Amino acid sequence: MAAETRNRDITGDEATFKRWLLVAATWSVLLLPLGLMYARAIGDGMLSLIAMLFLVHAVIARSWDWLKTPWTRLMFTFWAWLTFCTWLMGAPHTLAQAVASARFFALVVALETWVLVDPVTRRRLWWVVLGSAIWILIECWQQYLLGINEIGWPRFGDGALTGPFRGPTAGGTYLLLFFPAFLPLCFSLLRRGRAIDMLAAGAILTLAASTMILIGQRMPALLMALGLGVSGLLFREVRLPVILTVLVSVAVLALLPIISPPVFEKLVVHFTEQMQHFWATPYGLIFGRAITMIQAHPWVGLGWDGFRNNCMNPVYLGGVPWLPVSDPTSPLGCNIHPHNDWLLIATDSGMVGVTLFAALVVLWLKRIRGGTGDLANGRRAGLLVILFVTMWPVASATSLFTVPNAGWIFLMVGWGLAEARAGLADGSVQLPGASTREKTA
């Protein structure tokens, strides 16, 4: 009898401990967007904590079924390859960074199979993301109309609106929030079927897109346009609001010389000049330097931070004959990363790494998309679009594995997979890697 009592106590203590692990992870997820917006170190600490709590939970619960899913296996295969390339080719101090990058992939699994299994938590996360996007929108308009934001900071020196930030980061952050925040809201309104709700959906999307244009950052605006096009092609429900948004956005662009000359100069004039002389711009020089490195090490790359640590190595200053780079030896060809996710992966882990990661992205997209017409809710649609946009290869981007950008991207991936898993679970389909909570939900 005493032994049975002790066993019940142990079981009860274990259940309590697992419950507190989940509570801590849930609050960390809900606060993660705020950490990523305002405190890089805190955001990195939060996502690392979520990953560690998940692994502790897996050990205690003896739950390892999540390793059976093909995208999870491929994630950690890519991570192992990147770590091997770093051990083989990288600087000694970068090996620890490559190993630590596993936290991003563990975050994805933690969100999919543990923290975001609960529909209430997923809904609350959407409210946090929507609130964050609206906050940026409001602060951008305040800065545009009054000259300063709530904190007292003016526009950036080149005319870009900074929203609630000191520097020109509003566009990139707003893009990552744009579709997960506003597209579900539009779906929710459109499904009511009333004319007033349809008008509200169109007004929300056009206001959100106009704000992006007025922010005045070129690549986020272009990627937003790409995402709107993808949304219109994939989802018939939002096709009319998307068309209206595109038309209004074109009108806003045409009016920029009047309503915001600094943004017109940066978004239209400067961008046109850059495209006309691309191979003489820093972006063209960086691209050429990265291609030179990849051609020299096509299979294993140069390991973690390979571009940054080797960009001024004389071996890579000769350029390649098939690219018209104006000056392959220019120091402007150096930066902390090659400003493109796929070039980053290629310089770090070679074309093998690119192949593995491309296959992983395809699996993610297919999983979140599901079958034809199989979208459980607007959140899933918004997450599908932002994943497609962020992984679009022809784009300038910040580093894929540097917080806050990495935190946003892997948060969206894990969230999207959780929404897809919930959609299948609602259809009474048994999923590989389902957690105990999910099986009993």
**pLDDT of 316:** 92
Whether the pLDDT of residue 336 is over 80: the answer is yes
pLDDT at residue 126, rounded to an integer: 97
Q: Where are the alpha helices (DSSP H) in 39-91?
A: 40-61, 70-89
* Interacting residues of 142 by C-beta distance below 8 A, sequence separation 6+: 148, 149, 150
pLDDT for the residue numbered 153 = 87
pLDDT at 440: 36
CA distance 252 to 263: 11
The burial class, CB within 10 Å (0-12 / 13-18 / 19+), for 322 is: exposed
- pLDDT at position 431: 37
Q: Is the pLDDT of residue 243 over 80?
A: yes
Average pLDDT score over residue span 100-111: 97
* Per-residue tokens: 253: 């662009």
- pLDDT given for residue 293 in this prediction: 96
The closest of 302, 286, 276, 189 to 240, measured between CA atoms, is: 189
Residue 67 has pLDDT above 80, yes or no: yes
Say if residue 439's pLDDT is above 70. Answer: no
Q: Which amino acid does the sequence have at 176?
A: L
What is the average per-residue pLDDT within 383-405? 94
- What local confidence, expressed as pLDDT, does residue 302 receive? 95
pLDDT band for position 98 (cuts 50, 70, 90): very high
Percent of the chain with pLDDT over 90: 73
Q: How confident is the model at residue 434 (pLDDT cuts 50, 70, 90)?
A: very low
pLDDT tens string 154-198: 998 888 899 999 888 999 999 999 999 999 999 999 988 888 989
Whether the upstream peptide bond of residue 33 has omega within 30° of 0, thus cis, is: no
* Contact by Cβ (8 Å): 266, 157: no
Structure confidence at residue 377 (pLDDT): 75
Query: What mean pLDDT is predicted for residues 132-150?
Result: 95
**Residue 367 reports pLDDT greater than 90:** yes
- pLDDT for the residue 266: 87
pLDDT at 428: 37
| pLDDT of residue 328 exceeding 50 | yes
Q: What is the mean pLDDT of the chain?
A: 90
Q: Distances from the Cα of 300 to the Cαs of 64, 315, 353, 366, 403, in angstroms?
A: 30, 17, 8, 27, 24
pLDDT band of 95, cuts 50, 70, 90: very high
DSSP structure class, residue 352: H
Q: Is residue 380 very low, low, confident or very high in pLDDT (cuts 50, 70, 90)?
A: very high
Q: Is the pLDDT of residue 426 over 70?
A: no
pLDDT of residue 375: 52
Whole-number pLDDT of residue 157: 82
**pLDDT level of residue 432 (50, 70, 90 thresholds):** very low
Structure confidence at residue 441 as a pLDDT band (50, 70, 90): very low
Higher pLDDT, 322 or 358: 358
